[in-house]
Amino acid sequence: MIGGHTIDSIRSGLLAKEFSAEELTREVLAFAEAENPKTNAYLTLAPERALAAARTVDAKIAAGIEPGLLAGVPIGVKDVIVTHGLRTTCGSRMLASYIPPYDATAVIRMEQAGGIILGKTNCDEFAMGSSNENSAFGPVRNPVALDRVPGGSSGGSAAVVAQGTATLSLGSDTGGSIRQPASFCGVVGVTPTYGRVSRYGLTAFASSLDHIGPFSRTVRDSARLLQVIAGRDEMDSTSASTPVPDYVAALDRNVRGKKIGLPKQYFEGLASEIGDLILGAVDVLQRLGCEVREVDLPHTPYAVACYYVIATAEASSNLARYDGVRYTARASSSATLAEMYRVTRAEGFGAECKRRIMLGTYVLSAGYYDAYYLKAQKVRALVARDYARAFEQVDAILGPVSPHPAFKLGQMVDDPVAMYLSDIYTITGDLAGVPCMSVPCGRTGEGLPVGLQIFTRHFNETEMFRIADTYERAAAS
């Protein structure tokens, strides 16, 4: 049963010779081939690369060499993360045939650890969206309810794990793009501390906010995957040299005396069904010895406005490189260089990308910089200070991931402001750069998954995983 596998069950199966990495890879590839049309979660499967990696793992095991922490584990990689020789589209027409000449650092580290990259997962164009409906290659359907969105922008990465067509996946998070789809699809999704994972090879959207992070079915597996991909990389000067602990070894299921904060701003006006599930999870942790108190994150109501200035400003600059010269797509006919730029970009970008490029260009343009961009950077400092103050009182902050569960395809596409506002609970974490994650905490009356969000201090993923793992075990029993 492919969907039931974890990193540990694959490792023990391989070492006990119950199956080889090649057999497992073939089985998962066939399963993905058969199941993918239901969800459109994979854009590209990579059987040759996957089987070659699997044979390397098998050869190591046969030779008695340690095969690595992710030995034989099938992994999906969000299509904004580059893979050498394997098409990387960013969900955009602009890059529909782009074949990267190098691998992202996170990809290299996973393969060095014996991980098997099965393919590239669908996403909102250049990671801009909250529903995966902005992909040029069609939306992803939520495996839990096929008429609903999987969330976004890492919708495909959440869906492959939920569907069982991968055991792990990589996503990217700029304003909630890992945690929100994890919540919608009922899987674990982690946004590590800013700088914890190298972004070398992550197609830049908003560089001061972009993160790479794991998806998995269990907290333990995300902890293991983060351990593999985290750490200093000289190819990314924003990657931190803070040592990477053994996150899995620290999962001792002891949360006695831990102080948990509930931000009052996260529960005001929250749908009672979601609120009840979150408070139910808090209750479980309280019974295991956590102390719960209210905390104040007073600038939360300003986070969405702040984010959509900063993120679009950075995006307008980062996406300027797609001009018809270097990256595959070029306007079919254009007499001058200037016209070629303008028409290439008009043809290559979808509506949401254009909207964000325009907004970002506007807020950076002469006369508006101070009023918008500088103002937003100051408000960002206030949001970060909210967290710093709260973490003087508590070890972790808990709350909802999203104000609602997965919505129906098409339900929100015509209202960008409403779509943006639904990111309210995730955006603050990215602005402050603190580690945060979504762990499943039950389902609504309609059977839709809901995620519990956990935030901890910078570089304290250990505490975040400990609380999440403890809750997950308690909730399962």
Partner 1 sequence: MKISEEEIRRVAELANLALTDNEVAQMARDLSGILTHVDKLNELDTAGVEPMAQVLVSTEEAADGIANLREDRERRPLRNHDALANAPLAGSGYFKVPKVIER
Residues marked as catalytic: 78, 153, 177
Binding of partner 1 by 476 (CB under 8 A): no
Q: Does 316 bind partner 1 (CB under 8 A)?
A: yes
Residue 330 touches partner 1, criterion: CB under 8 A: yes
Using the rule CB under 8 A, is 176 a contact of partner 1? no
Please check whether residue 53 is in contact with residue 73, taking contact to mean a CB–CB distance below 8 angstroms: no
The yes or no reply on residue 302 touching partner 1 (CB under 8 A) is yes
96 contributes a contact to partner 1 by CB under 8 A: no
342 is a contact residue toward partner 1 (CB under 8 A): yes
Q: Tokens standing for 333?
A: 């006919």
Size of site (CB under 8 A) for partner 1 = 71
Q: Are 307 and 176 in contact (CB under 8 A)?
A: no
Least Cβ distance, residue 416 to partner 1 (angstroms):
6
**Rounded to the nearest 5°, which phi and psi values hold at 145?**
-150, 105
Q: Does 329 bind partner 1 (CB under 8 A)?
A: yes
**Contact present, 453 and 430 (Cβ < 8 Å):** no
Query: What is the CA angle 211-215-218, rounded to 5?
Result: 135
* Per-residue binding letters, 39-78, with partner 1 (x by CB under 8 A): ----------------------------------------
**Residues 343 to 382 in contact with partner 1, rule: CB under 8 A:** 343, 345-346, 349, 354-355, 357-359, 361-362, 365, 372, 374-382
Please list every residue from 105 through 134 that binds partner 1, using CB under 8 A: none
Site for partner 1, residues 396 to 455, rule: CB under 8 A: 416-417, 420-421, 432-433
Asked whether position 468 contacts partner 1 by CB under 8 A, the answer is no
| Binding status of residue 194 toward partner 1 by CB under 8 A | yes
CA 247, CA 243: separation in Å to the nearest integer? 12
Residue 269 is a binding residue for partner 1 (CB under 8 A): no
Alpha-carbon distance 261 to 3, whole Å? 34
246-280 b/e (C-beta count within 10 Å ≥ 16 → b): ebbeebeeebeebebbbbebbeeebeebbbebbbe
Q: How far is CA 16 from the centre of its chain?
A: 33
Task: Single out the residue of 2, 14, 116, 306 in contact with partner 1 (rule: CB under 8 A).
Answer: 306
In whole angstroms, how close is the CB of 63 to partner 1 at the nearest point?
Answer: 30
Phi-psi map region of 90: left, alpha, beta (phi>0 left; psi -120 to 50 alpha)? left
Under DSSP, the state recorded for 244 is P
Q: Does residue 240 bind partner 1 (CB under 8 A)?
A: yes
